[in-house]
Amino acid sequence: MLITGFPAPAFGTNCYVVATGPGEQCVIVDPGIGVLDQLDAVVAEYRLHPAAVLLTHGHLDHTFSVAPVCGARGVTAYVHPGDRELLADPAKGLSADLAAMFGGRLPYTEPDDVAELTDGGVLTLAGLEVTVDHAPGHTGGSVLFRLPGAGSPWEAEQVCLAGDVLFAGSIGRTDLPGGSLPAMMASLRDKVLPLADDTVVLPGHGPATTIGRERADNPYLREVADLGVAPRARQTGL
């Protein structure tokens, strides 16, 4: 299996490319701001053929390049219905300060072909089987993407593309429109903690980690596991 990624120039948002191997079809996960040239270089280096774009949630730093990526290749963008309106109008997910930083009107267009994700659904794309877990809290439509990790660089049983639900040592912020700390707590308890310790986590920002490492060291997971409450998340990304 081929899994590679790189941080976007803005907000350090990780964009991932996943395929069964070089020369095959691939899926692109979270094409953020300013990623087009580097994404094209990755696709060319491994002779890949994009088959779909998967979005962990609807924030602009994860979706900004979705329309040009999908439009250039005639592929579908997948997003949970809870964040469908953010894909149409990403300003709805911004705080007043962030909206001002982007200067009001955003140079953004919605992709032509959008399909909605379902909790527990399995997508068969590019020879991959991707399980979708709805994990609201950072946004109403945040999801985890899980796929078998055999043959991956980590040789793990499972890989989880976690978006902004879980980071190494932290979790996604819940103070933006559509965010909810109680929902995040429930997602950590019900969707993250049950995952096997050797599950490799590829987050939306920052380095890869494992569920076992986070279960032991992440204060948010430890609080949820022990007390059912989580401290305020460090603000990362949007």
Per DSSP (E only), the strands in 63-176 are 76-79, 114-116, 122-125, 128-134, 143-148, 158-163, 166-167, 170-171
Choice among 3-12, 145-154, 186-195, 228-237 with the minimum mean pLDDT: 228-237
Look at residue 43 in the predicted model and tell me its pLDDT.
98
**pLDDT tens digits for 162-178?**
999 999 999 999 999 99
Element (H, E) at 69: helix 66-73
Q: pLDDT tier at 89 (50, 70, 90 boundaries)?
A: confident
- What structural domains does the chain harbor? 2-227 (3.60.15.10)
> How far is the C-alpha of 18 from the C-alpha of 44, rounded, in Å?
14
What percent of the chain is modeled with pLDDT above 90? 79
Contacts for 113-116: CB closer than 8 Å, 24+ residues apart: 113/70, 113/74, 113/75, 113/76, 113/77, 114/76, 114/77, 114/78, 114/79, 114/84, 114/87, 115/76, 115/77, 115/78, 115/79, 116/78, 116/79, 116/80, 116/81, 116/84
Question: What mean pLDDT comes out for the span 90-104?
Answer: 73
Token representation of residue 215: 């279960």
pLDDT at position 221, please? 94
Q: For residue 230, is pLDDT > 60?
A: no
Q: What is the pLDDT of residues 104-125, one digit of tens each?
A: 556 778 899 999 999 999 999 9
Q: With contact defined as beta carbons under 8 Å apart, do 230 and 188 qualify? A: yes
User: 233 pLDDT exceeds 50?
Assistant: no
